[in-house]
A and B are shown apart, each in its own frame.
Chain A
Amino acid sequence: MLDGETMQHEFEGEFENEFENEYENEFEDEYEGEQFGGSLLKGVSSSLGLGEGEYESEYESEAFLKQARKLASRFAPVLKQLAPHAARIVGTAVGGPGFGQAAGTIAGHLLREGEFEYEFSSEFEDEYELTGEFESEYEYEASPQQESLAEALAAAASQAESEAEAEAYIGASITRIMPLKSISMCRIAPNIVKGGAYLTRTLRKSRTTRPLVRTIPTIALRTSRTLAQQAAQGRQITPAVAARVMAGHTRKVLSSPTTTAKTLLNSAKVASKVSKAVPARERVRN
């Protein structure tokens, strides 16, 4: 059985060669991190390969669809291989090696069955009808401010200089977005943080997949929402349960190019809410 580290090395080798050259210069934006509202999110839109100000349009607009299609077609080849691998990594981190293997197998099986097969046009149109559901789900637990800060921290993680710094940002993003009101959620939070950290490491291995770090708050939020519902129904939340749920959401978000694209665009839009210019008074004080 493979542990998390071994799987990551395998993954690194596999994706580095295959996709590195293709997008080599696309995600070069340097993260400076001087001010949360200043240069922290400087590269958010450009790292997705889209012009600045393109997120100004409404979520439901034609421009959004166009951007999502563009992004989805870019990530589609990578995601097919990435999703089961990422699910396995998350399962291993949260629940131990056994759960990781099971999560990866299930994800791989579903992919083979064609449930998440890449059929861009029709799939996107179908999914787009469910946008309302997606949005309401997203807003379920976290307040807009919590959400935007968590997304901004994830954006910082995707552009951080080092792996360790990226994981620090993701850890903060997860505890920011998770509802920690019940004991069962507090108990499982460190496992979710660990899962997020391992997923960050996996996604940052390749420049191509690095922007996908921004999907982690969505995965963490959906996971905590599912776990909170299960806890409310009286089910015990064990690391095994959390591993299965988080691996499932990882697979769900990363196996479909359209879901991934929508998550990325939504993340950039939400994170931009905290990227307002820093007041002059604050700058002078520095």
Chain B
Amino acid sequence: MYQYELETNLDRGFQSEFETGVGEDREYESEEFFPLLAPLLGKVAPMAIKAIGGLLGRRRRRRQNEFEFESPQGEYEAEYEGEYESDPFIGKLLQGLGSMAGMNESEYEFEQFESTPASESEVLAEHLAHMAANSESEAEAEAFIGALVPLIARGFGAAAPSLMRAAPHLIRGAARAARTLYPNARTRPLLRTFPGILKKTASTLARQANSNRPIAQSTAVKALAGNVAQVLGNPRTTAQIMKRSRLIHAKKCPCCNSVRRGV
């Protein structure tokens, strides 16, 4: 349902504005495009957050109707039709999306994160995100997005086992969010923000794991939704992450550089 909504809204609203090849990643990075990027993200970010929130909504429903039997299809539809709205955290994130346009603390954190040097696994993560953004099908894109999670978890040393325990929830959440971005060619390049989003999410969860608190499903899903809101809810942060992604990929990616050099 949300895919259809996305397609129709975006196609109608941005057809003329993005005629000049906004599909190229660099367009998103330049400041003059922020006014155009903002409405695009304004449509996409709530859908991505709602898609992730569906994982929380589903649990709540199951618990409430423990002895009821429903058809699987009906259940799945309900998941996307407002059930997530019953989750207060997701509701707050959706309400707060409008106020994220300005510079705030979370953005400052992302700026710091942007200036750190890239490790080998980060370079590979950026390449996988690049592959996801350029993949032939939605399922293939999700394979690359899913592959990011263990790769990013590897970078967190002692917290990695706890992160991997939460991996299925992160994979499902990231895959659902990716599903909202992939169908439209204009939003597809935004898949390149996923290594940044997942790294920030892993960092949040690692802090919790390091303080000996177990990572519950809801915690993992909420952390992911929160970071999606922080990144896709703010055009400046999105542009910064896209820029970093492009720079790392262009300069350091062993896969693409070997092809360019003809190795």
Interface residues of A (CB under 8 A from B): 30, 33-37, 40, 145, 149, 153, 156, 161, 163-172, 174-176, 180, 183, 186-187, 189-190, 193-194, 196-198, 200-201, 236, 274, 279, 281-283, 285-286
**Cα-based distance from A201 to B59 in the complex (angstroms):** 28
Residues of chain A within 8 A (CB-CB) of B263 are 236
Cβ-defined partner of A187 (8 Å) among B121, B149, B165, B254: B254
Residues of chain B within 8 A (CB-CB) of A168 are 142-143, 145-146, 171-172, 174-175, 178
CB of B218 within 8 Å of the partner chain: yes
| Cβ-closest chain A residue relative to B218 | A286
**Cα-based distance from A164 to B141 in the complex (angstroms):** 8
Residues of chain A within 8 A (CB-CB) of B143 are 167-168, 170-171, 193-194, 196-197, 200
Cβ-defined partner of B168 (8 Å) among A33, A145, A282: A33
Q: Indicate if the CB atoms of B144 and A190 lie closer than 8 Å.
A: yes
Cβ-defined partner of B146 (8 Å) among A33, A35, A172, A285: A172
Q: How far is the CB of A43 from chain B (nearest CB, A)?
A: 14
Residues of chain A within 8 A (CB-CB) of B124 are 180, 186, 189-190
Q: How far is the CB of B12 from chain A (nearest CB, A)?
A: 26
Residues of chain A within 8 A (CB-CB) of B171 are 153, 168-169, 172
Bitwise interface map of B from 132 to 172 toward A, beta carbon under 8 Å scored 1, else 0:
00000011111111111111001000000100111111011
Q: Indicate if the CB atoms of B151 and A197 lie closer than 8 Å.
A: no
Cβ-defined partner of B142 (8 Å) among A34, A164, A282, A285: A164
Residues of chain B within 8 A (CB-CB) of A186 are 120, 123-124, 254-255
| Cβ-closest chain B residue relative to A279 | B214
Interface size of B as a range: 35 or more
Given contacts A172-B149, A180-B121, A193-B147, contact A165 B217 (CB under 8 A): no
Q: Indicate if the CB atoms of B139 and A286 lie closer than 8 Å.
A: no
| Cβ-closest chain B residue relative to A38 | B217
Q: How far is the CB of B184 from chain A (nearest CB, A)?
A: 16
9 contacts between A and B (CB under 8 A): A33-B169, A153-B168, A165-B172, A168-B143, A168-B146, A169-B168, A171-B147, A187-B254, A189-B128
Within 8 A of A (CB), among B95-147: 120-121, 123-124, 127-128, 131, 138-147
Residues of chain B within 8 A (CB-CB) of A286 are 59, 216-218
Q: Indicate if the CB atoms of B164 and A187 lie closer than 8 Å.
A: no
Residues of chain B within 8 A (CB-CB) of A180 are 120-121, 124, 151, 154
Q: How far is the CB of B192 from chain A (nearest CB, A)?
A: 14
| Cβ-closest chain B residue relative to A176 | B150
Residues of chain B within 8 A (CB-CB) of A40 are 168
Q: Indicate if the CB atoms of B167 and A149 lie closer than 8 Å.
A: yes
Q: How far is the CB of B230 from chain A (nearest CB, A)?
A: 22
CB of B204 within 8 Å of the partner chain: no
Given contacts A165-B175, A282-B216, contact A197 B131 (CB under 8 A): no
Q: Indicate if the CB atoms of A34 and B59 lie closer than 8 Å.
A: yes
| Cβ-closest chain B residue relative to A165 | B175
**Cα-based distance from A168 to B176 in the complex (angstroms):** 10
Within 8 A of A (CB), among B225-263: 254-255, 258, 263
Q: Indicate if the CB atoms of B214 and A281 lie closer than 8 Å.
A: yes
CB of B203 within 8 Å of the partner chain: no
**Cα-based distance from A164 to B168 in the complex (angstroms):** 14
Q: Indicate if the CB atoms of A285 and B140 lie closer than 8 Å.
A: no
Residues of chain B within 8 A (CB-CB) of A193 are 128, 143-144, 147
Q: How far is the CB of A82 from chain B (nearest CB, A)?
A: 20
Cβ-defined partner of B138 (8 Å) among A164, A176, A281, A283: A164
